[in-house]
Amino acid sequence: MSTFQAPKGTYDLLPPDSAKYLAVREAIAAPLRNSGYGYIETPGFESVELFARGVGESTDIVSKEMYAFETKGGTKLALRPEGTASVLRAALEANLHKVGNLPVKLWYSGSYYRYERPQKGRYRHFSQVGAEAIGAEDPALDAELIILADQAYRTLGLRNFRILLNSLGDKECRPVYRAALQDFLRGLDLDEDTLRRAEINPLRVLDDKRESVQKQLGDAPLLRDYLCDACKAYHEEVRELITAASVAFEDDPKLVRGLDYYTRTTFEFVHDGLGSQSAVGGGGRYDGLSEMIGGPALPSVGWALGVDRTVLALEAEGVELELPAATSVYAVPLGDEARRVLFAKVTELRKLGVAADFSYGAKGLKGAMKNANRSGARYAVVAGERDLAEGVVQLKDMVSGEQTAIGVNEIVAELESRLG
């Protein structure tokens, strides 16, 4: 055992479980690539100010959970707690909104960091796949992203998830609601920290998960009752487009995402098999974020889906993913000449795209065949001095146990044929 361990609240992703995570990432990314989204990768750390402005200083993410530090040169940086602000910053810096057609459609995958109380489904280091459509105000974009996430989850085999949908209004109607909500909250029995949050951004209080707070919010005013006509029409079109695509959703008038930049459409994917950490992903429209971080007006929409929680949701439903075999062929050489010959054949198979491995370390036949079995290989290729003298190798079917002598020069073609 090593002297060192993974930091508290983090985890190491190891085979064979890591194959599930790769499959989930690929399933989420596939519909995005097919819908015009290009891949983007941003640094693992950014300016603290980027998240303070974009995510919001009143949010728990910025005020309590962000890993912030100062460089030797005095620059204040933070490990990224979410992806949207970084992606929008990168798009603005590269002037993507000027050189291409709008919207600029981007997807990304990576690790994110929040200093939280560790528990199952809630880690200090976690993985997400996200998508952003930047520079267009169109209900069809909002609907597209919701539909693509739904498609990704269903492709994986998930069925017991729900889509919660709401509208948070815009700069015209939300201030009126904000004032009404603040009046309501001032009359509740809340602690000083929560009351302070209510004065900065009262919608954050609606997102408070504590039972002592939630039980007092039953009669809180609902934002849907304060929406202007434009926001009502926009939200109704999103609902109609999703419905027409046969994607089921639930209207949740109290749904508030934990980031300050959301406007209008907001949504969340929840899975009831995960207990208190039921959200597996979510997102929404953020029409004012570009201006918050010093850019031009660029109405945008996006989401992020948690890879870790999606894997937990699959396990909760008992869904077994069809994963590609890590090894299809395992070569077992017995002797120096066999090592030279079979290593060359393994190299040739790999060039043809066949997953092949080799018995390293001069193991005996019994030990090597145990490794072949553990690897999950479909076939084992065994050769000793007598086999090579006869110009053959032994091909063993690891499922049926059948063993056949195949010519040395024919073995690659034979395996390619059998494995398709």
The answer, yes or no, to whether residue 58 has pLDDT greater than 70, is no
**Which one-letter amino acid corresponds to residue 274?**
L
Beta bridge partners of 147: none
> Would you say residue 195 lies in a domain?
no
How far is 357 from 335, CA to CA, in rounded Å?
A: 17
What is the average per-residue pLDDT within 52-60? 76
Range of the domain at 341: 329-419
Positive or negative CA dihedral for 79, 83, 84, 90?
positive
Tell me the residue length of the chain: 420
The answer, yes or no, to whether residue 193 has pLDDT greater than 90, is no
Percent of the chain predicted with pLDDT > 70: 99
If pLDDT is split at 50, 70 and 90, which confidence band does 201 have?
confident
Same domain, 342 and 306: no
pLDDT digits (tens, 9 = 90+) for 14-38: 988 899 999 999 999 999 999 999 9
pLDDT attached to residue 223 = 87
- The gap between the terminal CA atoms of the chain, to the nearest Å, is 42
pLDDT attached to residue 325 = 81
If pLDDT is split at 50, 70 and 90, which confidence band does 229 have?
very high
How far is 35 from 362, CA to CA, in rounded Å?
A: 50
Same domain, 23 and 164: yes
275, 293, 317: which is the final residue of a domain? 317
pLDDT attached to residue 3 = 87
Contact 180, 221 (CB under 8 A): yes
The answer, yes or no, to whether residue 121 has pLDDT greater than 90, is no
pLDDT digits (tens, 9 = 90+) for 129-146: 999 999 999 999 999 999
How far is 271 from 314, CA to CA, in rounded Å?
A: 10
pLDDT attached to residue 61 = 78
The order of strands in the sheet holding 38-39 is 38-39, 104-113, 125-134, 300-306, 279-285, 263-271, 161-167, 250-251
CATH number for position 350: 3.40.50.800
297, 317, 337: which is the final residue of a domain? 317
Same domain, 160 and 120: yes
pLDDT digits (tens, 9 = 90+) for 247-306: 999 999 888 776 667 889 999 999 988 876 789 999 999 998 999 999 999 999 999 999
SS3 302: strand
How far is 331 from 252, CA to CA, in rounded Å?
A: 57
What is the average per-residue pLDDT within 219-235? 92
> Would you say residue 234 lies in a domain?
yes
Which of 186-195, 281-290, 379-388 has the weakest average pLDDT?
186-195
> Would you say residue 12 lies in a domain?
no
How far is 374 from 339, CA to CA, in rounded Å?
A: 21
pLDDT attached to residue 274 = 84
Query: Both tokens of residue 325?
Result: 């075999």
pLDDT digits (tens, 9 = 90+) for 66-104: 999 999 999 999 999 999 999 999 999 999 999 878 999
Tell me the range of 32-41, 166-175, 275-284, 363-372 where mean pLDDT is highest. Answer: 32-41
How far is 280 from 317, CA to CA, in rounded Å?
A: 14
Q: What is the mean pLDDT of the chain?
A: 92
CATH number for position 133: 3.30.930.10
E strand map for 57-160: 68-70, 76-79, 104-113, 125-134
pLDDT attached to residue 203 = 82
Instruction: State pTM to two decimals.
Output: 0.89
Beta bridge partners of 129: 109, 305
pLDDT attached to residue 260 = 66
The answer, yes or no, to whether residue 207 has pLDDT greater than 80, is no
Residue matched to tokens 């992020």? 304
For strands 279-285 and 300-306, give the pairing: antiparallel
Same domain, 397 and 256: no
Same domain, 33 and 152: yes
- How many domains does the chain divide into? 2
